[in-house]
Amino acid sequence: MTTTLDLNLIHALDALLQEGSVTKAAARAGVTTPAMSRALGRLREAVGDPLLVRAGRSMVLTPFATSMRGQVHETFLGASALLRPSAAASVRTMARTLVIRCTDIFAAVLVAPLQAATDKDAPHFRLRFVPEGDEDAAPLRDGRIDLDLGVNNMPEPDIRTSPLFRDRMVAVMRRDHPLGRGHLTAKRLVAFPHISVSRRGRAEGPLDHELVKFGLSRKVPVVVPELLAALCALCSSDLVTIAPDIIVHHLSARFPIVRRPLPVTVPELAFSQAWHPRVDADPAHKWLRERIQRAVAKVLGT
């Protein structure tokens, strides 16, 4: 490199190499797209390599950029940890973008109370919610996300977890649905079409495993990836869905829906937050974890 790079440029370089996109890198670093474009220009001049080149409608890393991707990321994480304020430092003066991976339903519940908390305590924080994917631990390890919220299925020993709440599954339908009245039996439940909520496109789950013991099965003509889509759909149809009770109760004021206990027993869901131990002592991360615990306890009544 022909010039000395400050930590801001190292941050920009790491974001560009991790995202492979100026726009996504800008969002990751918490800066504007023009600012990231200017940083890319300075980086190209400094290293003597274009780093990102146009390939159709997208951009790809050059071989040199690919070769340095892992080392740059480790360097940035190490420098950030070294220069990070102590636990006693106030988050009020920090400028951070904190990335939270969760379902849209979790985001719908938490955005308002978390935004109120940032306005009060950390006005320079930006909270970036991203959708769940494969739910693996790699993004936590390499810093692509700061926190994972949901039904945690990551047994990796290097991942920290903290329980948020437990919830039972209930049947959900529109307010004037026939199943909203009278005793809900397993036979009545399967008499109406169901909409399944599954990011992996699955039409069956624990409920179906229990129903088969009674010689029953559901008709599931629709599968959607997120619960909000299911709630919107069933409000104007005879569709029925299965969802976590506490979360749906919180949303019942916004949707004309009713909840009914399932006529068969299915396992409870244990919701938690997960993070990598490298951010255990990070004051911004500790603040975020504590505020999420408070928001969940207040909003969901746990």
Tell me where in the chain the CATH 1.10.10.10 domain(s) lie.
7-83
pLDDT at 105: 84
Give per-residue pLDDT as tens, 240-265: 999 999 888 888 888 999 999 999 99
pLDDT at 87: 44
d(C-alpha 243, C-alpha 261), whole Å: 11
The torsion defined by the Cα of 53, 132, 31 and 34, in degrees rounded to 10, comes to 40
pTM for the predicted model, two decimal places:
0.67
Burial, 227: exposed, middle or buried (Cβ in 10 Å; 0-12, 13-18, 19+)? buried
Portion of the chain with pLDDT greater than 90, in percent = 54
Give per-residue pLDDT as tens, 93-142: 888 899 999 988 888 888 999 999 999 999 999 999 998 876 678 888 88
pLDDT at 282: 87
Per the CB < 8 A criterion, the answer to whether 272 and 162 are in contact is yes
Give per-residue pLDDT as tens, 42-64: 999 988 999 999 888 888 999 99
Buried b / exposed e along 38-63 (16+ C-beta atoms within 10 A): ebbeebeeebebebbeeeeeebebee
pLDDT at 239: 97
pLDDT at 2: 42
For residue 244, give the 3-state DSSP assignment. strand
User: Which segment, 20-24, 46-50, 141-145, 170-174, is predicted with the most confidence on average?
Assistant: 170-174
Tell me where in the chain the CATH 3.40.190.10 domain(s) lie.
96-164+270-299, 169-266
- Stretch 198-206: mean pLDDT, rounded? 89
d(C-alpha 148, C-alpha 235), whole Å: 30
Q: Where are the beta strands (DSSP E) in 146-250?
A: 147-151, 160-167, 169-174, 195-197, 222-224, 241-244
Q: Indicate the CATH number for domain 96-164+270-299.
A: 3.40.190.10
- Stretch 155-183: mean pLDDT, rounded? 90
Confidence of residue 88 (pLDDT cuts 50, 70, 90): very low
The CATH classification of domain 7-83, taken from the options 1.10.10.10, 3.90.1150.10, 3.30.420.10, 2.60.120.200: 1.10.10.10
Q: Give me the helices (H) in the chain, please.
A: 7-19, 22-29, 33-47, 63-83, 104-121, 138-142, 186-189, 206-211, 227-234, 245-251, 283-299
> For 25-29, which contacts have Cβ atoms below 8 Å and span 24 or more sequence positions?
27/97, 27/128, 28/97, 28/99, 28/144, 29/97
Superfamily of domain 169-266: Periplasmic binding protein-like II (3.40.190.10)
Confidence of residue 300 (pLDDT cuts 50, 70, 90): confident
Per the CB < 8 A criterion, the answer to whether 269 and 205 are in contact is no
pLDDT at 242: 96
Q: Average pLDDT, whole number, for the chain?
A: 87
